[in-house]
Amino acid sequence: MTNARFSFVQRVLHWLIALIVFALLAVGLTFMTLGGYEGVVGLFGDTTTNMLYTYHKSFGILLLMLMVLRVALRRAYTTPAYDPPIGGFERYVGGSVHVLFYLLLIGMPIGGWLATASGGFPVQFFDWELPGLVPKNEELSKTLFQFHGYAGLVLLGLIVLHVGAAIKHWRKKDNVMRRISLP
């Protein structure tokens, strides 16, 4: 067995991003299930709803920043080898899932930013309001929010696949999980 692992910073970033994504998906699925702002207000009230939207936007922007850092680190460091090696099909599926993760985890925050701005809503990053980047266009906003929601469902499916593969490798004790585990 080799000691090949991702760098400590990459491993921490992986798990931090995972926590943020789970929280964002939980809130996003709540928005989707309840039919958007009005449905959320009906269940939680104005104050909690506004807080949920502000934090969803803020953590979405934070996710974008962390993903940019993650891509930079991925390019800066070599990917640790599998020891023992895994098969070509597993490598292909795993690589494809990771590419889709990267695309979605960068694209969804950008899409959410543009959907929010084109809807005429503030793009918030905690206590700061960020530039909207696009003019108000309610039809564009509606379309972008739909894609944002569909992308969230695709992301959820990929997470199920990813977690299933992680459990498989953990049970096999083939060192795949060791590459990304924290301890």
Q: Which two tokens stand for residue 123?
A: 């793009």
Give residue limits of the domains in the chain.
Answer: 8-179
* Average pLDDT estimate for 35-57: 95
Q: Which two tokens stand for residue 106?
A: 């960068």
Nearest to 21 by CA among 159, 157, 127: 159
DSSP state of 130: E
Residue 171 burial (C-beta neighbours within 10 Å; 0-12, 13-18, 19+): exposed
Distance CA 173, CA 167 (A): 10
* Average pLDDT estimate for 7-34: 96
* Average pLDDT estimate for 16-44: 96
Q: Which CATH number fits domain 8-179: 3.90.1520, 1.25.40, 1.25.60, 1.20.950?
A: 1.20.950
16-20, 90-94, 98-102: least confident range: 90-94
H/E element holding 124? strand 123-125
Residue type, 75: R
Distance CA 94, CA 179 (A): 14
pTM of the predicted model over 0.85: yes
Q: Tell me the average pLDDT of the chain.
A: 94
* Average pLDDT estimate for 85-98: 92
What are 121-161's pLDDT values in tens digits?
A: 999 999 999 999 999 999 999 999 999 999 999 999 999 99
pLDDT of residue 3: 59
